[in-house]
Amino acid sequence: MNVTEMTAKMASGKGFIAALDQSGGSTPKALKGYGIEEGAWSTDEEMFGLIHQMRTRIITSAAFTGEKVIGAILFERTMDGDAGGKPVPAALIERGVVPFIKIDKGLEDEKDGVQLMKPMPELDALLERSKALGVYGTKERSVINSANPAGIAAVVKQQFEVGKQVLAHGMMPIIEPEVNIKSETRAACDTILLAEILKNLDELPEGTQVMLKLSLPIVPGTFDPLVAHPKVLRVVALSGGYKRPEACVELAKNAGIIASFSRALLEDLRHQMTDAEFDASLAGAIDEIFTGSTVKSA
């Protein structure tokens, strides 16, 4: 796939984006979910080696193809590794899966009800290296915990500033201002967030497009104006802590939005499984998320 073909797949491809981008802080939890307890490694290198084995097992599975998985978001170390004897981005592209890279370096402490992204002083270098490996786009995450207008405006402003930096490198940014699904003011967060995103989209130059990764809204259809916006290539949803069945039900209520799930994709996979068991479990999860992404409820 070249860049034009990747853009077409992101714009209208049937399927979803797999999030395989757990970073250092979330890796132990991801490994525990996979059936590997914390005592199984003694150094960070060993820990990252184990999570890379898990990810390559997923990427090289017969179930993991561009037929239903149209994209995959990678952690930097995963991008730099191999899968099946090939660089991971190349292995994905060969399977018809568009590669993305997680670029944020974690979150600042909460202020004004939100957590901004930490500084990314080496972002330009990472973007150049990623693009050279064939990576199509990026993903960056902030968190909104309460309906504070000033805080939400700051999150969206920062997200779009970083997004413009990504666009300047000829790559596609996935802008992710996550609303905490446990927030007591979640519906108000969704409303304020929608207005701020629309404002920032209108300020982008004509012909420019970004992608959006959002928490599933408490009121289905809230983000319809973003799905229809000419400066939005695609809207994808995170599972945000929902178990897969519930996440897929909520996803199906929102027309035009596809999944970009992490935990909800991986939750049934265990390292003790035989390859046949692993492939069957992964195929079942992919089918369920694919259906939530493509078959919408009334």
Q: Which of 102, 140, 176, 196 is catalytic?
A: 176
161 is catalytic: no
The CA distance from 298 to 280, in Å, is: 30
38 is catalytic: no
C-beta of residue 51 within 8 angstroms of C-beta of residue 22: yes
Closest CA to 101 of 70, 78, 125: 78
Token pair for 200: 């920032």
| Residues assigned a catalytic role | 176, 213
